[in-house]
Amino acid sequence: MGFRRVRPGEDPSIGGSTVVERLRREGGAPRTWANGPDAVYSWHAHGSAKVLYCLEGSVTFHGRDGSAVDLAPGDRLEIDAGTHHAATVGPGGVRCVEVFRRADGHDDAGAGEAPAKPDPTDGSEG
């Protein structure tokens, strides 16, 4: 399908550190983004794999096969490179942190479209 969700209780290594620290340890350069209630992202795919954590609120990722993956705070989603997907933000908005990974496992900063406005609280410029 191209999606893999990990709930906080399913991966004990999620608990001991912040998700940003974890993504950095995995070799990534995390980028935080946020968007308001009910925002919709149209169908698209990325040239690199995407690893995303939901920090606040909720978002649903939709697969071309009709599948849907709901994310809540603490959930991790891995999307394979080339997987077509769309997303719908929940009624309370969402804040996420993500990295893009090449097939060799290295960070691919900037590989994806900026699907949302950068989060001004994380100190990055998007």
Kind plus residue range of the DSSP H or E element containing 40: strand 40-44
pLDDT of the residue at 38: 98
pLDDT of the residue at 69: 95
As for how many domains the chain has, the answer is: 1
Using CA atoms, how far residue 76 sits from 24, 28, 125, in Å, is 15, 14, 23
pLDDT of the residue at 123: 42
The verdict on residue 12 lying in a domain is yes
pTM for this prediction? 0.76
User: Residue 111: is its pLDDT beyond 50?
Assistant: no
Q: For the ranges 11-15, 52-56, 91-95, which has the lowest average pLDDT?
A: 11-15
The verdict on residue 108 lying in a domain is no
16 versus 9: which is more confidently predicted? 9
Segment 53-81 shows an average pLDDT of: 93
pLDDT of the residue at 26: 76
HSE of 61 in the Cβ direction (CA atoms, 13 Å)?
27
Please report which confidence band the pLDDT of residue 14 belongs to, taking 50, 70 and 90 as the band edges.
low
Domain with 40, as residue range(s), is: 3-103
- For 82, the token pair is 């080339």
Q: Of the candidates 76, 122, 82, 121, which has an alpha carbon nearest to the alpha carbon of residue 99?
A: 76
The verdict on residue 124 lying in a domain is no
pLDDT of the residue at 107: 56
Segment 93-101 shows an average pLDDT of: 92
Segment 85-96, tens digit of pLDDT: 999 999 999 999
Neighbouring-strand partners of residue 51: 78, 99
What is the phi/psi pair of residue 74, to 5°? 95, -20
40 versus 110: which is more confidently predicted? 40
The verdict on residue 115 lying in a domain is no
Report the CATH number that the domain containing residue 94 is assigned in CATH: 2.60.120.10
The verdict on residue 97 lying in a domain is yes
